[in-house]
Amino acid sequence: MAQTIWAAYLAPLLDRFDLRVDVPPVAYSDLELPCDSELSADVAQRIAAARRRQAERYAESPQCVVNADAEGSLLQKHATPDAEGQALLLEIAERFGLTARGYHRVMRVARTIADLADSQGVERAHIAEAASFRLPPAGPSRSQPRNSRKAAAAAQPEKMAMASDSRP
């Protein structure tokens, strides 16, 4: 049961990653392609612009410099999505059983995506992209049925019963 021992301490840690992404092997034929993708300098400019927007927004709260630092009312005030976005966020949260932390982390990432797009408010598309980075990466474990909250709740009493049985 080594797996469950790992699970017990890694699950809360994994919940703290805002972005999870698959890095598949590159096809050999792609390696021959010319280097025509974006230069670091161009991307860095967009990042700097997004950071400037964050600095302006959080100018009055010294504890908060970037979106990742935003908490509580500050996060509510600046990262609450529009009605459509809110509906999508709720749907995703229910379907995948986001933790409260996960829910807020999606909001933060969506805020950053909106900043990169130079958008005042957080919209549905931003929430969708943020949530897409939160779903588990592809791999063999994907085939396992994802626990819904109901299933987890149903499994809980059983576990507890087993635990109490094992006691002398």
Partner 1 sequence: MVAVTYTVAFHGVEARPVEVQCAVAPGLPSFQIGGLANKAVSEARERVRAALDALSIALPSKRITVNLSPADMPKEGSHFDLPIAVALLSALGMIPQEEIGACLLMGELALGGDLVQVAGCLPAALTAASDGRSLICPKASGAEAAWVEATAVIAAPSLAAVLHHLTGQNLLEPAQPGEVTTHQSAKDLSDIKGQERAKRALEIAAAGRHHMLMVGALGSGKSMMAARLPGLLPQLSPADALETSMIHSLNRLLDEGGISRERPFREPHSTASMAAIIGGGRSAKPGEISLAHNGVLFMDEFPKFLRQVLETLRRPIETGEVMVARANAHVKYPSRFMLIAAANPCHCGYLSDPARACARAPKCGADYLGRISGPAAGSV
Q: Kindly list the distances between the CA atom of residue 73 and the CA atoms of 42, 61, 70, 126, in Å, as whole numbers in the listed order.
A: 34, 12, 9, 20
Strand, helix or coil at 52?
helix
In the bound complex, what is the minimum distance in angstroms from residue 126's beta carbon to partner 1?
10
DSSP conformation letters of 88-132: HHHHHHHHHT--HHHHHHHHHHHHHHHHHTT-SSB-HHHHHHHHH
Q: Is 134 in the site for partner 1 (CB under 8 A)?
A: yes
Q: Is 119 in the site for partner 1 (CB under 8 A)?
A: no
- Residue 21, φ and ψ in degrees, nearest 5: -140, 145
H/E stretch holding 6 reads: helix 2-14
Of 61, 94, 136, 160, which one interacts with partner 1 (CB under 8 A)? 136
Taking the complex as a whole, how short is the minimal distance between the CB of residue 124 and partner 1, in angstroms? Answer: 17
**Shortest Å, Cβ 125 to partner 1:** 13
- Return the residue of 73, 120, 144, 166 that touches partner 1, per CB under 8 A: 144
Residues 87-116 that bind partner 1 (CB under 8 A): 96-99, 102, 105, 108-109, 111-113, 115-116
Residues 62-91 that bind partner 1 (CB under 8 A): 65-69
Q: How far is the CB of 97 from partner 1 (least distance, A)?
A: 7
